[in-house]
């Protein structure tokens, strides 16, 4: 996960730098729900949709779904190009599940203070209405806490401008599982997007990784699942099918048009540990689960011996466990190399002069293939876009004459 977050952090950092340099407006938004310890995390699985996560996803769709007329009017009024959104969740026994979106909104230009305030109020109103329509509690829209950062507008929605020297301080939120550093400046925006949830730790809340560590420690201490394990399992079940990171198509097109470099590797490619490694043994699944995974410490011993001693050490280790090399554990596959070519194959690889007749034949065949490709494309175009038949008009002013049949 840390590697994936690091790549996403670098991507959003580069995107934010490029967009800011090009004169686009950047704004950090946070959408939260009112929640209590009794509320369930829930799920968005088909036929089982319920809980806070369902309200969070349905609320976003209702507020900012691209098919809604209100959203289209809002987008056109403030020149919203698109957004990049990240899902975050924390847990505390005193506060329960805290689910929210962190979003970087992008507008066509930097907004003045008045327009920024109107954009904030419009997005907040849409969010509050959509959350109630999705079955959630009324979001916080007012606050009487003295000196609160919300300015009395509540904690259900927050929007901060990122083009006025506070880019990093305000925008280090989208991906909160890696770096812990805090600070200001646009150069810190990517780090904040991948930072750890320091505020959550201060008030007793835990992020997903911290909850997992606490659940593992509890299971080791008690020898059976406890409250933390149950909460971790609830979270793992509920987060399935939740889109944790999303960038709108329009924003993605803009980033590509501006030539901003982005790492487009998939999660599988980012976490692939096999690049540059050499196989030293093949362990069948039956051997792995029966003789290695079930025995405490064997997996770690196998990794350490492989890293330090290679194939000889691994073979000696597995044989000490009573396994038979060549039966329970197999030799590594042979590296594939270029096949040896015989004289005839080598002769075919050498460049040769093409006779005039053969060259003429190749040119004619190429022209025929190109003509056929054009004919096929034209036929498909006629099939996909059929012409309408022109109806035959019969004039009622002219008498219709019967056809004269030849006499029998």
Q: pLDDT band at 168, cuts 50/70/90?
A: very low
What's the pLDDT score for residue 201? 46
What's the pLDDT score for residue 202? 44
Q: pLDDT band at 187, cuts 50/70/90?
A: very low
What's the pLDDT score for residue 31? 95
Q: Which of 272, 284, 274, 280 is nearest to 335 (CA)?
A: 280
Tokens of 387: 């012409």
- DSSP-based three-state secondary structure for 69: helix
Asked whether the beta carbons of 266 and 15 are under 8 A apart, the reply is no
pTM of the model: 0.65
What's the pLDDT score for residue 144? 65
Q: Tell me how far CA of residue 88 lies from CA of 27, 186, 287, 363, 369, in angstroms.
A: 18, 22, 39, 61, 55
Q: pLDDT band at 59, cuts 50/70/90?
A: very high
Mean local confidence (pLDDT), 328-333: 88
Rounded Cα distance between 32 and 41, Å, is 14
For residue 269, the tally of other CB atoms under 10 A from its CB is 11
Q: What is the mean pLDDT of the chain?
A: 81
Give tens-digit pLDDT for 64-93: 987 778 888 999 999 999 999 999 999 999
Q: Specify the higher pLDDT residue, 195 or 19.
A: 19
């Amino acid at each position: 996960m840390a590697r994936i977050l690091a790549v996403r952090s670098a991507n959003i950092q580069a995107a934010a730098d490029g967009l800011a340099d090009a004169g686009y407006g950047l704004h950090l938004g946070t959408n939260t729900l009112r929640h209590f310890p009794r509320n369930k995390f829930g799920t968005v699985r088909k036929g089982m949709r319920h809980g806070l996560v369902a309200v969070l996803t349905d609320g976003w769709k209702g507020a900012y779904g691209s098919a809604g007329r209100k959203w289209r009017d809002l987008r056109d009024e403030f020149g919203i190009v698109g957004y990049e959104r990240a899902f975050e969740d924390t847990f505390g026994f005193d506060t329960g599940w805290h689910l929210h979106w962190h979003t970087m909104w992008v507008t066509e230009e930097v907004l003045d203070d008045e327009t920024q305030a109107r954009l904030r109020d419009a997005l907040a109103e849409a969010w509050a209405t959509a959350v109630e329509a999705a079955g959630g509690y009324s979001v916080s829209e007012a606050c009487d806490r003295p000196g609160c950062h919300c300015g009395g507008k509540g904690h259900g929605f927050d929007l901060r401008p990122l083009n006025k020297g506070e880019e990093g301080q305000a925008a280090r939120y989208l991906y909160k599982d890696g770096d812990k550093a805090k600070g200001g400046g646009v150069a810190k925006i990517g780090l904040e997007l991948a930072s750890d949830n320091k505020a959550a730790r201060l008030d007793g809340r835990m992020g997903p990784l911290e909850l997992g560590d606490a659940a593992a420690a509890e299971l080791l201490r008690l020898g059976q699942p406890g409250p933390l394990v149950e909460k971790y399992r609830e979270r793992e079940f509920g987060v399935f099918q939740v889109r944790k990171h999303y960038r709108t198509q329009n924003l993605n097109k803009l980033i590509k048009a501006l030539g901003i470099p982005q790492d487009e590797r998939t999660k599988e490619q980012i976490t692939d540990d096999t690049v540059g490694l050499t196989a030293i043994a093949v362990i069948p699944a039956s051997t792995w689960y029966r003789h290695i995974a079930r025995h405490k410490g064997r997996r770690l011993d196998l990794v350490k011996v492989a890293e330090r001693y290679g194939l000889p050490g691994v073979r000696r280790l597995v044989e000490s466990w009573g396994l038979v090399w060549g039966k329970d554990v197999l030799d590594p596959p042979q590296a594939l190399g270029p096949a040896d070519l015989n004289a005839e194959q080598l002769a075919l690889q050498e460049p040769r002069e093409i006779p005039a007749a053969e060259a003429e034949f190749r040119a004619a065949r190429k022209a025929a293939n190109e003509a056929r490709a054009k004919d096929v494309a034209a036929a498909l175009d006629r099939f996909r876009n059929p012409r309408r038949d022109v109806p035959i008009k019969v004039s009622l002013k002219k008498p219709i004459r019967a056809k004269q049949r030849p006499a029998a």
